Amino acid sequence: MRLADLQGAYRHYLLTGDSAQLAPAIVADAFDGAERLGIYRNNFLVGLSEALKANFPVTLHLLGRDFFEQAARRFVLARPPRRPCLFEYGAEFPGYLSDLPELGALPYVSEVARFEFARIASYNAAVERYVSPDTLANLPPDQLEALPIRRAQHAQVVPVKAPVAELWKAHQVPDPDLSVIDMTARPQVLLVCRPDRALVVRELDAPAAQFLAAVQDETQLGAAAAQCGAEDDMALGRIIALVLELRLLVSARA
């Protein structure tokens, strides 16, 4: 069997449990082929499930260990990792949870999961050359409007309806008291970012959320400002102050 075929057969077995393609390559010793393969497949499933537990600890607590482990196992088989870093694993897990019929009455669970993964993505994002106050101050008006910008990788924007920040904070102690949290749905947009070494969470007003949506991909500062819905220069000034304070913008000229 060629190496590529062996690797493909092994992947197929890990995801399906069907060892027919792989069996001819297995040499039996104290364990027969099926037993040896079973050990590797179990380690594969348990290892990735443990990675999901580590990445979504509050979601784990909300769902309970048994339900979470069953959901994690099904997710692993449906969407195995495509990258080697396990802290990156689970970006699709919140969406997977939101599609589970069993959680139809608990939409806040998938929102908490999205918030948790946003924290991971923000904390592990690459350090970039952020736009500074001096960058803006030293540009004439025409060049300022044409400044190419995009949102920094550490700036994660999370639209939610549930009080996910409060739920996450409550679960940072062993016995969280959820009775004090108002679970009434309230649409809001949370910003999770890492301007320095610590994560910061802010609730965004509509103009700031629209501005950060406009700069998700590279655009010009003037175009983003026009799309943010700020009613006056003072509102736009607050947005610019926010993105400079939290280092939310990147530019080739920064």
Give pLDDT, residue 76.
95
Give pLDDT, residue 46.
93
d(CA 71, CA 53): 11
User: What residue ranges do the domains of the chain occupy?
Assistant: 1-124
d(CA 238, CA 45): 48
Least confident of 3-12, 86-95, 120-129, 160-169: 3-12
Report which residue type is found at 53: K
Per cent of the chain over pLDDT 90 is 70
- The answer to whether residues 162 and 133 touch, using CB atoms and an 8 Å cutoff, is no
Give mean pLDDT, residues 40-45.
88
